[in-house]
Structure 1
Amino acid sequence: MAGAAQSRQGWRYRANVAARVVAGTIGAYAVAALFAMALARILPMGRAQAVVPATLLAFLIGPAVTIWAFLARGPWRAWAGVLLLGGLFAAIAWAVGAPA
């Protein structure tokens, strides 16, 4: 009986870690890319000049999202944070539209 409980607990732990790893890698990449896209469209400069600072700042957002994925109370909260930020940045990029 104890062996079955330990194996179930081990499976849940592994699934928890796997969900956080996916949120911290793929999710962080997506959020950083959406952040760079939104910021490049907001910055008041030409296309080529706006992409450089937006991308450099996105390099700070990626690790922050990864840290959040592992600091969140559970994998559902980690994914909620990733999806919320991604949706926010996507909405900003969509609302601003294509740069001039």
Structure 2
Amino acid sequence: MSLSMNSIPNAPSAHPGLSVLSRLLAAVVGGYALASALAVFLAAVLPAARAEAVLAGMQWSFALHALAAVWAFSPVSPGKVWLGIALPTSLLAAGALVLGR
């Protein structure tokens, strides 16, 4: 009887380094995209002078990028990490696109 890696629960992946690489890319690239989307969204939404809204958006984006980087290495699957970063990024970018016009 042959057992595959898919039939064994909690089996280690064939290349654990790929999981770390995926999380690292999610933290750096995904976190940057999320922070940028938040900065643009807040600059379009905040009811302040244009320069103040942009500055506030940038300040909040630094905090969000740090949180995204920490969360990328949390004990959830890399797929959930990517989904948790990609979904808010796309929503914020779409909102900024709609509200910025």
- Scaled by the length of structure 1, the TM-score of the pair is 0.82
Shift of 1:67: 1.3
- Please provide the CA RMSD for this pair: 1.8
Residue 73 (structure 2) aligned to one of 67, 70, 73: 70
Q: Secondary structure at 1:71's aligned position in 2?
A: coil
Q: Which runs of 5 or more structure 2 residues have no equivalent in the other structure?
A: 1-11
User: In structure 2, what is the Cα distance between the partners aligned to 1:86 and 1:72?
Assistant: 21
Task: Say how many residue pairs are matched.
Answer: 91
**Which stretch shifts more, 45-54 or 17-26?**
45-54
Aligned partner of 2:68: which letter? V
Residue 99 (structure 2) aligned to one of 91, 96, 99: 96
Query: Are the aligned partners of 1:36 and 1:55 in contact in 2 as well (CA < 8 Å)?
Result: yes
Aligned partner of 2:96: which letter? A
**Which stretch shifts more, 21-30 or 72-81?**
72-81
Aligned positions of 1:45-60 closer than 5 A: 45-60=48-63
For residues 31-77 of structure 1, what are the alpha-carbon distances to aligned partners after superposition, in whole Å with 9 as ceiling and x for unaligned? Answer: 00000000010011222221111101111100111111111511111
- Scaled by the length of structure 2, the TM-score of the pair is 0.81
Identity of aligned residues (%): 32
